[in-house]
Amino acid sequence: MISCSDLRTGMTILHENNIYSVLEYQHVKSARSAAFVRLKLRNLRIGNVIDLTVNSSEKFEPAHIEKVSMQYLYDSGTFYVFMNNSTYEQIEIPVDKLENEKNFLFEGLEVKIVMYESEVIGIELPDKVVLNIVECEPAVKGDTAQNASKNATLQTGLVIQVPLFVENGENVIVSTLDGKYVSRAK
């Protein structure tokens, strides 16, 4: 068991049959009342964030999260299929569990599958990925406004804003954190 005083940002705990990641931790001492702890927790199963205030003597069970490197293979329509590179074991993750991540998935991408015991919690993408532009608006001659941009559709279907000099068929680096153009790929 982990006492409240040992909790730190980034730790994972079990609370009320759910797995939480500690986002914020604040120990509050008052002259008038007993010490307590304010926690901001993210539910790793459904993604919502809760605020929890507990007595400083409260204890939590640690949740041991495992991250396994796997390669994205394909979309079967209802599942995304990943393969473990060392054991060649394949797992399927329901499409609705990876709503945001699907915008960056392409065949052969190396990701980390986040697991608790045998339950798949989600995936961890690399910070940046290289994607190909399949459709891009033409640049308008004379459009020289500062930081002028245009829409570009990537191979995954994601539409992003790119600078005017980027053309159809080019590879670009995209941030998986905010889904924005970073630079051209070399």
Give 38-59 pLDDT, tens digit per residue: 899 988 888 789 999 888 888 9
Together in a domain, 56 and 76: no
Residue where a domain terminates, one of 62, 87, 103: 62
Together in a domain, 136 and 113: no
Residue where a domain terminates, one of 36, 62, 88: 62
Together in a domain, 36 and 82: no
Together in a domain, 38 and 73: no
Together in a domain, 136 and 179: yes
42 versus 34: the higher-pLDDT residue is 42
Together in a domain, 44 and 80: no
Together in a domain, 69 and 102: yes
Together in a domain, 69 and 51: no
Together in a domain, 140 and 113: no
What CATH number does residue 171 fall under?
2.40.50.140
The pTM of the whole model exceeds 0.85: no
Together in a domain, 31 and 8: yes
Together in a domain, 53 and 101: no
What CATH number does residue 56 fall under?
2.30.30.30
Examine the pLDDT at 137 and tell me if it is beyond 90: no
Examine the pLDDT at 174 and tell me if it is beyond 70: yes
Together in a domain, 79 and 37: no
Give 77-120 pLDDT, tens digit per residue: 899 999 998 999 999 998 888 888 889 999 999 999 989 988 88
Examine the pLDDT at 145 and tell me if it is beyond 90: no
Tell me how many domains the chain contains.
3
The CA-based angle 132-137-138, given to 5 degrees, is: 110
Residue where a domain terminates, one of 108, 124, 140: 124
**For 115-120, which contacts have Cβ atoms below 8 Å and span 24 or more sequence positions?**
115/65, 115/66, 115/67, 115/68, 116/12, 116/19, 116/44, 116/63, 116/64, 116/65, 116/66, 120/91, 120/93
Range of the domain at 15: 2-62
